Structure 1
């Protein structure tokens, strides 16, 4: 928890998948925000993943790539929300889609809001 000059006592920036934040009220809605990346697939990773999938087990390279991509799109979404004056994003979701056989799109989106604690 932090405390700034506006009286806000909470995380510097909050992202939740719920439509509201218990203990806080939504004072202002800034609209939809998103972060997006499109990744090309690494042929060597795909070959290794194909072999690994035959024998079972975690595809660690693919897991790391997905975690890195999700962190990247979250950062972009938060940056857009902050540039609009928000201190939170509600109703956040991830979306992924395949673009042909070589690209994967990853998107984080939600509603940018300004929240304050209930008194």
Structure 2
């Protein structure tokens, strides 16, 4: 069951992604280098105004939350696509970096692409 306000890697993904620096039970055969997936998203004017009004009285900005979840999933998808295109089957030390600017919110997923095999 999927929740529109959360996410993560699907169990059947072709590229294993870990926030750890190693993978217990696996051996790193080759390090392919740094990979990243990037997206920049902007909210529409109506949604931004709604969020501004909501922020005055407090509470979760569900539209913003949904946008950030979608952005992280898109960045993660680009990260795993790049890893697979280089011949990798895992990303180690994956991190997200988020920054907000005048034009929108930037989400970057990055890590180290590797080829791993069971130990």
> TM above 0.5, one fold?
yes
What per-residue deviation string (whole Å, max 9, x for no partner) do you get for residues 20-45 of structure 1? 00111111100000011112232211
Q: CA RMSD in A?
A: 1.5
User: Which moved further from structure 2: 106-115 or 38-47?
Assistant: 38-47
Q: Which residue of 2 aligns with 1:76?
A: 78
Structure 2 CA distance for aligned equivalents of residues 41 and 102 of structure 1: 9
Equivalent pair of 1:41/1:102 in contact (CA under 8 Å): no
TM-score (norm 1): 0.84
Equivalent pair of 1:30/1:111 in contact (CA under 8 Å): yes
Q: Secondary structure at the match of 1:12?
A: coil
Q: Secondary structure at the match of 2:111?
A: strand
Number of residue pairs the alignment of both structures matches? 108
- Any gaps of 5 or more consecutive residues in structure 1? 1-9
Q: Which residue of 2 aligns with 1:115?
A: 116
Query: Displacement of 1:47 after TM fit?
Result: 1.2
- Any gaps of 5 or more consecutive residues in structure 2? 1-11
Moved over 6 A (4+): none
Structure 2 CA distance for aligned equivalents of residues 71 and 11 of structure 1: 13
Structure 1 CA distance for aligned equivalents of residues 98 and 14 of structure 2: 27
Q: Which residue of 2 aligns with 1:66?
A: 68
Structure 2 CA distance for aligned equivalents of residues 93 and 47 of structure 1: 31
Structure 1 CA distance for aligned equivalents of residues 47 and 61 of structure 2: 9
